Amino acid sequence: MQQDKHPDYHQVVFRDRAAGYAFLTRSTASSDQTIEWDDGETYPVVDVEISSESHPFYTGKARTVDTEGRIAQFERRYGGGKDA
């Protein structure tokens, strides 16, 4: 590997403030803020707006789409369906 070409890859805490969830991983992201983790070490912390703990797809709180209403609307607009 060539020296001084690759970014610094270090341990970082990503924190989802909406869900109150944080996890420790390795990343090239940096931050001026720090947090003391469960192991007693201090790591840079990056606040994120959404993570797997708060995203509707992963939490099962996703919006359901009214497919029957969409089909009826399509048939009214373009014809076809049972009446045709």
**Residue range 30-78, pLDDT digits in tens:** 889 999 999 999 999 998 887 777 766 655 565 555 666 777 778 888 8
How would residue 6 be classed by pLDDT, with cut points 50, 70 and 90? confident
Q: Please state, in angstroms and as integers, the Cα–Cα distance from residue 60 to each residue in 14, 17, 21, following that order.
A: 22, 19, 17
Residues β-bridged to residue 16? 21, 48
Per-residue pLDDT reduced to its tens digit, 25-38: 999 998 899 999 99
Q: Report if pTM > 0.75.
A: no
In 10 A of CB 68, how many CB atoms?
Answer: 8
Beta-carbon contacts of residue 53 (< 8 Å; ≥ 6 apart): 16, 19, 21, 59
